[in-house]
A and B are shown apart, each in its own frame.
Chain A
Amino acid sequence: MEDLRLVNVTKKFDNFIAVDSIDLEIKQGEFFSFLGPSGCGKTTLLRMIAGFEIPTEGNIFIGDTDISKLPPYKRPVNTIFQNYSLFPHISIYDNIAFGLKVKKVHKSEIKDRVQQMLKLVKMEAHKSKFPNQLSGGQKQRIAIARALINEPKVLLLDEPLAALDLKLRQHMLIELMNIHDAVGITFLYVTHDQSEALNIADRLAIMNKGSFAQVGMPDDVYERPETIFAAYFIGDTNLIEGRVVEIHDEFATVVCHTDSEHEIEIDTTYHRQPVLDEVITLSLRPEKIAISRRPPKRKDDFNILQGVIEDILYGGTHTQYIVKVGAHFLRVFQQHKKVYIDELSLDWEEHVYLYWHDTDTHIIFETDKNKVNSENIMKTIRRK
């Protein structure tokens, strides 16, 4: 197998650690995505795999070959650069043929393979144009063709869609997935757009300050974040700190409080059993919470809280409510579906019930030391 393996890969710039002892194994043919905020080391990691940076420590393997010290032109890896980096002085045809010409492939074979690539990226009509005569999306396709024609073992893509508009980005995303399925090459895809990563990747890694906050399949990472950072970086979430007071076979009860007066109790299922009296953080996605003037008819396995609406933000696909429950502020998303909602729209300062299923609460065995959650919610509330 030609799996890609990173072993303890570290990159330091002077004393600054850009990538911090990363271990990772990526299967051949996998579509793997790196997701993280700006400056977390995604590009640096990719550049080390491409050969533009040499790791300060650690090794990179493809199959059993250690490639970490090879120059870029000796690695079976190709890159799609964020700014495309097409060669401006040669035609589209010559751009795509570049890699094969360097390898002295026979002319007629080059012609066939370029034609094949042009077809794959649907750019047959443009082969004699020059790069400055193409739109951003077209340049992107040529960059993909120029890389794939070399039949690399791994294709590296550094925010390839960042410069495109939303609709084109969605379209190209689907096309990238189709191309991936057609060629069966390992794709490493860097982005800081979370929905892109969730949509496209077989697995993804969330990076923070040079190391991984979590590695897993998209739904795993979204539904079962292991760290506060992962929970907070992908999607929106409510993070509530609490103490485990009861542990049952299927669920645990957590008491969340700021003071004795504002105590609330939340039941949660768990994947790893917590310890009694352990202080943990509950992650509760806003779209999992139902909001209503009336309590739910069904009560078993539900958490039901009462609160007051502090703010309402209309958001197209959903409306966001900020609801004050005890001393906590919870974010709630409600979709606009008449079949779900049989009551008049909710208003500021109304008393409401919030309820959700126990299984939608998730335990993170970490506490939010920086209080990102509460501070961020406070910022989103408008002052009246």
Chain B
Amino acid sequence: MERYTNNEITKIEKDNKSSLILTTPFLIWITFFFLIPYLIVIFYSVLTPGVYDIKFIFSLESWKAAFSSSYLDSITHSLVMSLLTTIITILIGFPVAYVIANSSKRKQNLFIVLIIIPFWTNFIIRIFSWKIFLSAQGLLNNALIYFGLIDEPLMLLRTNGAVLLVMVYVYLPYMILPIYSVLEKFNYSLLEASMDLGANEIRSFFKITLPLSMEGIFAGSILVFIPALGTYIIPQLVGHQSSAFIGQLITFKVKSIPRNWPLASALSFILLLLVAVILFTGYNYYKQGLRRK
């Protein structure tokens, strides 16, 4: 009996030891590249800005400033735009993923490759091409004029619409792929069962297919919403000055003179908290769904 419990204990100790060894690299990584940088960010946010650098004098001014209406507006704008991006990518991504998942194995591979190919081109170059495409002398305006649909170039660039368009373009693959991976494993005999029980194609979709693809939609939404919330380069290149994303303002605070490191830090930290809250709520909701399965 004694020996048995001893064995048990050594076994548990061993397990603890090996799990410690296995998680150490990750812990080191997260400490050096996440925890320490963010501690520095928090530390900077309560200091006083200098013209070029930072003065080590305690101050809560930047936190006060961060909660002023202009920054809150920018945060709201970022939230709304990323939410719209997420919704549009779901609306486009789901049908696309559905079609891919329902085609023959060979076509599936082809589609996946077609979705991945744009990644081989640099992200900024792709956004620049959109910029050229949408500009007053760009391909789109010229084509519309050529076909006599409009008389003078439309103001396409530097609008929220352009930002949304490019964000959807950039983030769509991150929505398609997780939904596809769920639909690809989907048991289609469940749809037959549903139709057998009297539900037509549309009802079966909403009662069976959609709820069972939530996992993919949820994963895709996180992959789209969070980077979209912090995006900087897209609104910078195709958006308008007056409706800046929070990411743009943060960059602006560190780039332009006089610099304001503390305010940039405070804003960054608010963005982090926002993402954390959204992730946490989303995860809890998702876990509730999982428990049922």
Interface residues of chain A, those whose CB is within 8 Å of chain B, are 50-52, 71-73, 77-79, 81, 83, 85-89, 98-99, 102-103, 130, 132, 146-147, 150
**A residues in contact with B187, CB < 8 Å:** 85
Q: Is B57 positioned at the interface, with any CB of A under 8 Å from its CB?
A: no
**Chain A neighbourhood of B198, CB < 8 A:** 73, 99, 102-103, 150
* CB proximity of B203 to chain A, nearest CB, Å: 6
Within B185-223, the residues touching A (CB, 8 Å) are 187, 189-190, 192-200, 203, 207-208, 211-212
A-side contacts of B293, CB under 8 Å: 88-89, 130, 132
Contact pick for B211, options A52, A89, A98, CB 8 Å: A89
Is there a chain A Cβ closer than 8 Å to B106's Cβ? no
Cβ–Cβ < 8 Å partners of B192 in chain A: 52, 72, 79, 81, 85
A88/B196 in contact, CB under 8 A: no
Number of interface residues of B (CB under 8 A): 20
Q: Considering the complex, give the chain A residue whose CB is closest to the CB of B200.
A: A73
Bound complex: CA of A79 vs CA of B203, how far in Å?
19
- The smallest C-beta distance from A200 to any residue of chain B, in angstroms, reads 22
Chain B residues in 8 Å Cβ range of A79 = 192-193, 196
Contacts A73-B198, A85-B190, A102-B203 known; list 5 others, CB within 8 Å: A51-B196, A72-B192, A73-B195, A79-B192, A89-B293
B196–A78 CB distance below 8 A: yes
Residues of A within 8 A of B207 (CB): 98, 102
Known contacts A73-B195, A130-B292, A132-B293, A81 near B200 by CB under 8 Å: no
Residues of A within 8 Å of B212, CB to CB, are 88-89
Contacting pair A87 B190 (CB below 8 A): yes
Do B189 and A83 have beta carbons less than 8 Å apart? yes
Residues of B within 8 A of A51 (CB): 195-196
Please tell me if the beta carbons of A81 and B292 are within 8 angstroms of each other in the complex: no
Decide if A98 touches B195 in the complex (CB within 8 Å). Answer: no
* Minimum Cβ distance to chain B for residue A282 (Å): 45
Question: Roughly how many angstroms separate A85 CA and B188 CA in the complex, as a whole number?
Answer: 9
**Known contacts A71-B195, A73-B195, A132-B293; is A85 also within 8 Å of B189 by CB?**
yes
Please give the distance in Å from B217's CB to the nearest CB on chain A: 13
Tell me the smallest distance from the CB of B289 to a CB of chain A, in Å: 8
Q: Which residue of B lies closest to A103 (CB)?
A: B198
Task: List, sorted by A's number, 18 A–B pairs whose CB atoms are closer than 8 Å.
Answer: A51-B195, A51-B196, A71-B195, A72-B192, A73-B199, A77-B196, A79-B193, A85-B192, A88-B190, A89-B211, A89-B289, A98-B197, A98-B207, A130-B293, A146-B197, A147-B196, A150-B197, A150-B198
The residue of chain B having its C-beta at the shortest distance from the C-beta of A52 within the complex is B192
Q: For A50, give its contact among B190, B196, B200, B211 (CB under 8 Å).
A: B196
Bound together, the chains give a CA A72 to CA B199 distance in angstroms of 9
Q: Smallest CB–CB gap between A115 and chain B, Å?
A: 18
Chain A residues whose CB sits within 8 angstroms of the CB of B199 once the complex forms? 73, 98, 102
> How would residues 54 to 86 of chain B score, 1 for a CB under 8 Å from any chain A CB and 0 otherwise?
000000000000000000000000000000000
Residues of B near A147 (CB, < 8 A) are 196-197
